Every structure is written in C-alpha cells, then in structure tokens.
Amino acid sequence: MAGVKGDLSKGSRLYKEQKFGQALTSYQKALSQDPYNQEALFNIGAAHYRLQEYKEAQEAWENASQKPGERKQDAQFNLGNAFYRAQDLDAAIAAYRKAILQNPQDKEAIHNLQIVLEQKEKNQQDSSNNNQNDKGDNNQNQNNQGGQDNQQDQQQQQQKQQNQANSSQMSKEEAQRVAQMAKENEYRPSYATPGGLEDSGIEKDW
C-alpha cells in the first residue's frame, strides 16, 4: 500500500497548492489501487468540489460516507455542502440531518441545516408571492362570470400558502430543537476544526 499512501500524500500537497485538477489525478490513482479506500474517495470529493464539479463531488462523498473509516460523518457533512452548492436544497437538508444524527455535537452541520431551511422557507415565500401577483393580474382581466371561479382559485391558493407556511414552520421548529439539543452537549474542539483533516490538506468546507 506504499503506492496508495504516496499518491495520497502527493495529492494533498497539490491540493494545498490549490492545484486541484492535479490533486484529483493523484487521488484517483490512489483509488485505482485501492477501490475501497475511504481517504481517496473523500479527497476526490474535495477536489471535485473545489473545481465546482458538484455532481462528481456528491458521488465521491456519498461513496465515502458508506465506507468504513473515520471520515463517514465528515463525508456526510460535505455531501450536504455539495448538494447546497448545486441548489438541491431538499437533498442538502437530508444530508445535514444524517450528519447530525451521526454526531449531534457537529455545530457546523447544525448551522448549515438552519441556513438551508431558512433559504428554503424564503424560496417558498417568494414563490407564493409571485403566484399571488400573477393571480392578481389575471383577476383584472376576468369578467363577472369568472369572478366566482377566481374567488375559488384564490381560496385554494391561500390554502396552499397556509400549508406551505405550516410546513416551513415545522422545519424551522425542527432546526431549533436540533440547535437546543446541541447546546445541551459539550462541544469537542475537534469538530470545530475536524481532527486529522488538516494533515491531509482537506477540510470540511463552509
């Protein structure tokens, strides 16, 4: 396995120099020699992420999170980041929740989960406002016969908005409960700067 370690070391050196493409090549070479190497998978995800290749990063970190080793939770956390960068908010939320389940003391994951939940809520509110504006424009062009239908449409739209608001509120309350749970635990400094990650040149992003 000396070849694998050598390629990982070379890749990490290149990564620190921000030569992410070359680092990726070294990590992939290490993985070709040891397809189950979690370290190689984890670092491949990091290199793809820095290259803004989020789909490839997602795949690598998903695989890393399923392999035995010390990087399972960190890979799950970074998977959430990759989904967020790709604007797949639902997948990001699911990934962060899994990361928190694996380590309820991970305040970075809790923080990111709250951010994504808030953004999702904002997106829903913006979408509802746009729909309401469109509905108002349509109402101006309707005759009296269509007024009753429009009233029904408005009631349905209001009900939909209420359902969305309730759903968002539940998500926000859930995030607050998770945050409270974290406050009741004693944080370990290693999770503020994950232990061992710095040595390889790879860190939890965001």
- pLDDT tens digit sequence for 143-168: 544 555 556 666 666 665 555 544 44
pTM to 2 decimals? 0.66
Q: How far apart are CA 57 and CA 73, in angstroms?
A: 15
Backbone angles phi, psi at 193, to 5 degrees: -130, 95
Between 130 and 151, the higher pLDDT residue:
130
Q: Can you tell me the mean pLDDT for 86-96?
A: 94
Radius of gyration of the chain (CA): 23
SS3 assignment, position 88: coil
Confidence of residue 190 (pLDDT cuts 50, 70, 90): very low
Mean pLDDT over 54-74 rounds to 94
